[in-house]
Amino acid sequence: MTLVIQIISFTLSYALALYLRQELLIGVFKSESSFEYYSFYFILSLAVFLCSNYLEGIFRVNKTSQNIKLFSHIKTSFTLFLIPALIAFLLSHHTISRGFLLLNALINCCFQIIIYKVFVKKSHKKKRIAFIGKRKLFEKLSTYCTEQKLAVTFLEPKLFPIHKVKLLEAIEKYEPDEIYFTHFEKRAKTIITYAHSHSSSKTTLKDISLLSVLLQKESSLQRSKKFISAFLGEDNHFQYYSRMKRLFDLLIVFIFLPLWFPVIAFIFCILKITYKEAMFIQARIGQFGHVIHVFKFKTMHSTKNTNKPNTATDTRITKLGWFLRRSSLDELPQIFNVIIGNMSLIGPRPELISIVSENYNSLHLRRTFLKPGITGLWQIYGRKQPIHSHLKYDFYYLKNQCLSLDLWILLKTIPAVIFKRGAY
């Protein structure tokens, strides 16, 4: 169900509810309602409606059952009545009828159920995943999906040979929804990328090389069920929290837009004038081991040595760069990564690819289950230690993550940045 259809259906339900209300008032009181804020409540209700649908995962193309979908529409409609009614009460808009808001929610619920019946097929086929790589991991994931009764089918690795022509033919023949590969070798990656890009099938390519290291042990797979199910695209409580956290991130970013955007613009102009280069993009490891590209202010002179600076006396750091690093302002452009969606405000820091390849084992890789963040517990308490050598903060957050903890970390980050604890 597309976003456009959702917006159109909501607009029609709101217009119909308003029409019925006005007709009722004319029939009973011989006059229409003089309330001036129907447009405001239309925008408010639409925002609540879209946010509720996003939280329930209605915009996702998933394999959930029809009963869960219908229950999601009922919850969305209840929220659609409750929140605008509460705001109307707080704003003392007593002239807007609670009956109108309830009527709008009920009509919208009927529209959603009708649209769902018309546009969503009752038969839900399993998602087909082409697996290219280690057979042991293939067997583990296949067994796991069977035990957990997930709507996922892994296609045999032998069906997809590492050969440009044969692999392309296999993709065209079996038409998988997604392609997972576990190869670290550059040649194998090149062949797989080539076959995927030249295929006419609409498939998604995922490099799970790092995830394969994490899941080598059977205990790791069983201990991380909610994360693995989320990675495979199945709805669970972790995905619901992830969507809620995504809305939380965007809300905070939007509210504080007048504060962070002028600061970024000012620093960008100063760096551009002083050093002719203001920002750069750096490849790092994101959620589930996927490579992401983060934005940072440039704080070092251009040299062949690209290693991470270990002390404040590193001669590669510019004078202005030293201040930016001490104040953590060099990380501020990663707000754009939050907007894009490959980072969050709160989470484990995204690590450099070289450090992950040299220092990480399966234990370290557990921190990649979460979407990386701009700040976290490590930034508050442990910034002097290397991230990969001080995992207790990330593991604590992995176990206890919630929105209240996220808010607490955000508030604690402010004094940590002001007093520059452990920064260089």
Neighbours of 110 (CB within 10 A): 15
Q: Taking residues 23-32, what's their average pLDDT?
A: 64
Structure-token match 């409540």, residue found: 41
- pLDDT tens digits, one per residue of 140-163: 888 888 888 888 889 999 999 999
Of residues 306 and 184, more confidence is placed in 184
Distance between CA atoms of residues 207 and 201, nearest Å: 18
Distance between CA atoms of residues 358 and 361, nearest Å: 9
Topology adopted by domain 127-234? Rossmann fold (3.40.50)
Please, where in the chain does CATH 3.40.50.2300 lie? 127-234
pLDDT for 64 equals: 42
Cβ atoms of 75 and 52 within 8 Å: the answer is yes
- pLDDT tens digits, one per residue of 202-256: 888 988 888 888 877 666 677 777 888 888 877 777 888 889 999 999 999 999 9
Residue 85 has pLDDT above 60, yes or no: yes
Distant-in-sequence, close-in-space partners of 167: CB < 8 Å, separation ≥ 6: 132, 160, 161, 191, 192, 195
The count of residues in the chain is: 424
Q: Taking residues 191-209, what's their average pLDDT?
A: 89
Cβ atoms of 262 and 300 within 8 Å: the answer is no
Is residue 420 exposed (0-12), middle (13-18) or buried (19+ Cβ within 10 Å)?
A: middle
The whole-chain average pLDDT of the chain stands at 83
Beta bridge partners of 291: 285
Q: How confident is the model at residue 65 (pLDDT cuts 50, 70, 90)?
A: very low
Q: Taking residues 188-192, what's their average pLDDT?
A: 91
Cβ atoms of 218 and 314 within 8 Å: the answer is no
Distance between CA atoms of residues 403 and 258, nearest Å: 23
Q: How confident is the model at residue 120 (pLDDT cuts 50, 70, 90)?
A: low
Amino acid at 406: D
pLDDT for 265 equals: 95
Beta bridge partners of 204: 178
Of residues 352 and 312, more confidence is placed in 352
Question: What angle (nearest 5°) sits at the alpha carbon of residue 355, between those of residues 352 and 360?
Answer: 120
Neighbours of 276 (CB within 10 A): 8
pLDDT for 63 equals: 44
Residue 96 has pLDDT above 60, yes or no: yes
| Range with the poorest average pLDDT among 14-23, 92-101, 399-408 | 92-101
Global pTM reads: 0.82
CA 363 from chain centre, in angstroms, equals 23
